[in-house]
Structure 1
Amino acid sequence: MLTYSLEERGGLPLYEYLYRRIREDILNGTLTAGERLPSKRALAEHLQVSVITVENAYRQLEAEGFLLSRPRKGFFAAPVELPAAAASPAAVPQDAEEPVWRLDLTSGQVDVSRFPVSVWARLTRQVLSEGGAPLLTPVHRQGLPALRRAIAKDLRDRKGMAVAPEQIVVGAGAEYLYILLAQLLEGAAFAVEDPGYPKIRKVYGKCGAFCRPVPLDGQGVDPAALAASGAGALHLSPSHHYPTGLVTTIGRRQALLRWAEERKGVIIEDDYDSELRFTGRPIPTLQSIDDGGRVVYMNTFSQTISPSMRLGFMVLPPRLLERYRQELGFYACTVPALDQHVLARFLEGGHYEQHLSRMRKEYRSRRARVLESFRASPFAGRIAITEQGAGLHFLLRLDTARSDGELRRRGEALGVRLGFLSEYAALPRPGYAHTLVVNYAGLEAADLPRAMELLAEVFDERNEKV
């Protein structure tokens, strides 16, 4: 007869303690395969517990496959593999601790302290107070209709884009949309700008797509190289290329549209930071001059609201929209309903436009201060700055005999994190050397004197040891 000390069960319910002990006896071989267990009533009387306690324990063991029930015969231990001798558990890799940098010129994230948190909190309370079915009901697979209407209106008002809300697909950030596009355009090779944002190549590559790096000239993607690549899709940022800052000319845009029409290809316009243009009028989007329905437009709110706002969207031309619904329409929307409701009101109420206006003013001023500091620095005579009056970064070419690797190591030794144009190139070119990609978003005015001192030490040609 099975005998267990019920006083040792601690805070466990009786049935769970009994279940655990019997399971342990089966796993360690005390109860062998096929061995008959006491009847529920007999075991209950022996342990002085209720029959229902034993029944619950037996039923759980049966549900998990540890017991077999045979009509009119009772319960029997099921055959199980006895566990091997306990081995030392494999060590769980720990996340590498992020270093604390004295100066980080690689982070292009916006200053979140500038975001109107109080407005966002008020809108969130409004949505929650109204509550009910809208928040608890799954949103449309392409995104909340109210948000898609608000985005369509914003695109029309700020960028002159005639977009129907039905063309918009909302997703959890740009990377998720890259994955959807890789699936939607399955079989096509993707041409990507070289140099360009490495994560684009990595995401497409992990989705099984072939990436063909295509070089840039002074006007944008080289059409001849694009045609020679054999690609059926082109991913580019024509309004402000990262990291060079290049703006694709109108003539080149028209040439790329002709390529797409002749090739029956697709152009993916990644408009990641056009909201942060500081001089002149906004650059018209490629999508707005596309008469053939060959351009997929995409953008994200991570750059303008907060990096934690994992919410982006793409605008599909009609022919691709139908294909998307047929082939990928089974995907649920990946953005929480609450975020979509609040963002819709943020857009509808004009708060987003006000926020962008404040950001442009802030970063125009911050950019001017940063450029002034570089031009007045001890190493000013050894640098050339390339900037297009837009975005949160610029290129700085340094006259130096050191390699990019040497400069990087010198910077790290001083707690300075540097990024180089050569790191963005899929195909190395000598002309990319000695050019830094300076992301200035995190440089406050008070930090600039110390930043210039640190960079002067990194760039110092006379000092071989840091």
Structure 2
Amino acid sequence: MLTVELKSKDKMPLYEQLYLKIRGLITEGELAEGEKLPSERGLAANLQISRNTVTLAYEQLYAEGYVEVRPQSGYYVNKIDRINSEKKEEFTDIKNESVNPEPEYEYDFSPFSLCKESFPYRMWDRLYRQCMRDRGEELFNLGERQGDMKLRVAIAKYLFGYRGLSVKPENMIIGAGTGYLLQLLEHLIDEKSIIAMENPTYMQAYRIFSSLNRKVYPINLDENGLKVEELKRSEAKAVYLTPSHQFPTGVVMPIKRRKEILGWASGEDRYIIEDDHDSEFRYKGLPIPPLKAIDTENKVVYLGTFSRTIAPAIRIGFMVLPDGLLKVYRKKLAFLACTVPRIDQAVLTEFILGGHYERHINKARKIYKSRHDKLISSLKVFGDKVKIMGGNAGMHLMVKFKLDMSEEEVVSRGEKSGIKLVGLSKHRIGENPEGGEAYILIGYGNISEDRIEEGIKILAKNLIS
């Protein structure tokens, strides 16, 4: 029986600890190719953890290709190319995860952290067992390449009810996260064309496009979002946007600017990539409608993910293609199988249709709003030394510190006090036009209200005392 040490008091979730431990055993050759992993029930009993914890760890290993599933048999280790002495430098990230782990912070204000305690683990586990009991044999067969139609219909119904968005399930592609879907999309856009992006932007999207040798044209923002005149001068054929809550600045693009961008795409071979990454979490007024909702010429590619609303390990995203790009997809990439295991698709389908997802969102929204409000009230200790931007939505604020110190120094002082902060420059393409001004992203997703208040007081003491 596999035995690994897990730390119940660690900030890292148990399933993630287990996933990393087993992945390490596989990459180091301790678990050989073809070796069978313990059953979920058996390993859970041996480690005295919940079966759902083991399930989440195994599913992440499966999604990343470290193991395979054999129907009615279990999980088996896949063949993994080992590290040889001449290419060790190419795999430093794998080594560094155990040798030089990211330092632990007493107060984690990362803008990407999620509230883990709000997730209904028992319900997810119940639905998993229900799907295996009712559809177990079927779920081990190869499903539809764009993703199971039942899930696509469920997502389309949710988008209509919550986002006021009417989409065709036939135009939707299910994939293992937004990153994978962006890689698919890159192959559908003319390889010689330029992709424009907001600057600052979601850097993972920028890295994906850049890694595929795609020319990216960064476009600056004003108080209304991406500057359309710069977009017109870019000669781009596609533009990546987060219009409902721009990441990372929090700017909400007004209707006039949205129509200007739609006008840019009108009548041309151009497309708008709308990443609607955290639309569920708005704390004042009604949700901001997506750009896709006013797209009358079928020019918007609409992206969404469940990794930001459920859990990072739920690697399920979706992409709705305009008819023109759907034809290209079916011609060039229709042979690709869906990258999300069918059991995960089935569980998410029942989670949505049973109303559990909506209840989870409502619960999480209340938690995030309380933390959002606590962060704003805690920042009052700085007086007029801070300017808050991007409030009333999402899971972070952008804060300008009007102090005689740089962004780097603010972040460094925070780190020395056990406080994790992220500077805006980390999300900027190219040089930082703000110069020495300190713009900091302060997240509140996975830190309690008490800890928020404590952390900000300590930060203030180290910055303005």
TMscore range, shorter length: 0.7 to 0.9
Contact 1:172/1:312 (8 A) holds in 2: yes
1:313 matched to 2:353: no
Secondary structure in structure 1 of the residue aligned to 2:452: helix
**Deviations 1:167-222, CA, capped at 9 Å, x for gaps:** 11000001101111111113321100011111111110001211100111111211
Residue aligning to 2:335: 330
Q: Paired residue for 1:389, among 383, 388, 392?
A: 392
Residue aligning to 2:355: 350
Structure 1 residue ranges without an equivalent (≥5) = 1-86
Structure 2 residue ranges without an equivalent (≥5) = 1-84
Residue range with higher mean Cα deviation, 104-113 or 188-197:
104-113
Measure the CA separation in 2 of the matches of 1:139 and 1:218.
45
Q: How does 1:419-430 map to 2 (within 5 A)?
A: 419-427=422-430, 428-430=432-434
Q: How does 1:55-94 map to 2 (within 5 A)?
A: 93=92, 94=95
Q: Displacement of 1:109 after TM fit?
A: 2.2
Measure the CA separation in 2 of the matches of 1:139 and 1:198.
32
Residue aligning to 1:73: none
Measure the CA separation in 2 of the matches of 1:381 and 1:284.
33
Change (3 A) 1:115 1:90: closer
Q: How does 1:239-250 map to 2 (within 5 A)?
A: 239-250=244-255
Change (3 A) 1:212 1:126: same
Q: Paired residue for 2:143, among 139, 145, 157?
A: 139
Change (3 A) 1:88 1:133: closer
TM-score (structure 1 length as normaliser): 0.77
Contact 2:111/2:441 (8 A) holds in 1: no
1:398 matched to 2:415: no
Secondary structure in structure 1 of the residue aligned to 2:304: strand
Secondary structure in structure 2 of the residue aligned to 1:232: strand
Q: Which has more radius of gyration?
A: 1
Q: Displacement of 1:132 after TM fit?
A: 4.1
Secondary structure in structure 2 of the residue aligned to 1:452: helix
Residue range with higher mean Cα deviation, 358-367 or 139-148:
358-367
Residue aligning to 2:24: none
Q: Paired residue for 2:442, among 431, 434, 438?
A: 438
Contact 2:197/2:240 (8 A) holds in 1: yes
Q: Displacement of 1:254 after TM fit?
A: 0.6
Residue aligning to 1:187: 192
Measure the CA separation in 1 of the matches of 2:325 and 2:248.
29
Q: Displacement of 1:385 after TM fit?
A: 1.1
Change (3 A) 1:362 1:413: closer
Aligned Cα root-mean-square deviation (Å) = 1.9
Measure the CA separation in 1 of the matches of 2:453 and 2:239.
42
Secondary structure in structure 2 of the residue aligned to 1:112: coil
Measure the CA separation in 2 of the matches of 1:261 and 1:426.
27
Number of residue pairs aligned between Structure 1 and Structure 2: 374
Change (3 A) 1:107 1:243: closer
Amino acid at match of 1:277: R
Contact 1:392/1:439 (8 A) holds in 2: yes
Measure the CA separation in 2 of the matches of 1:97 and 1:444.
24
Residue aligning to 2:417: 414
Change (3 A) 1:436 1:147: same
Q: Displacement of 1:422 after TM fit?
A: 2.4
Q: How does 1:186-265 map to 2 (within 5 A)?
A: 186-265=191-270
Secondary structure in structure 1 of the residue aligned to 2:290: coil
Measure the CA separation in 2 of the matches of 1:113 and 1:357.
14
Q: Displacement of 1:129 after TM fit?
A: 0.7
1:300 matched to 2:305: yes
Amino acid at match of 1:349: G
Amino acid at match of 1:134: E
Contact 1:421/1:432 (8 A) holds in 2: no
Change (3 A) 1:318 1:411: same
Amino acid at match of 2:153: R
Contact 1:421/1:433 (8 A) holds in 2: no
Measure the CA separation in 2 of the matches of 1:88 and 1:259.
50
Large movers: runs of 4+ above 4 Å: 87-93
Change (3 A) 1:114 1:108: same
Measure the CA separation in 1 of the matches of 2:172 and 2:436.
37
Measure the CA separation in 2 of the matches of 1:226 and 1:399.
31
Contact 1:407/1:458 (8 A) holds in 2: no
Percent of aligned pairs sharing the same letter: 37
Change (3 A) 1:347 1:432: farther
Change (3 A) 1:452 1:109: closer
Change (3 A) 1:359 1:326: same
Residue aligning to 1:168: 172
Q: Displacement of 1:281 after TM fit?
A: 1.3
Measure the CA separation in 2 of the matches of 1:253 and 1:90.
48
Q: Paired residue for 2:459, among 452, 455, 460?
A: 455
Contact 1:246/1:388 (8 A) holds in 2: no
Measure the CA separation in 2 of the matches of 1:424 and 1:434.
13
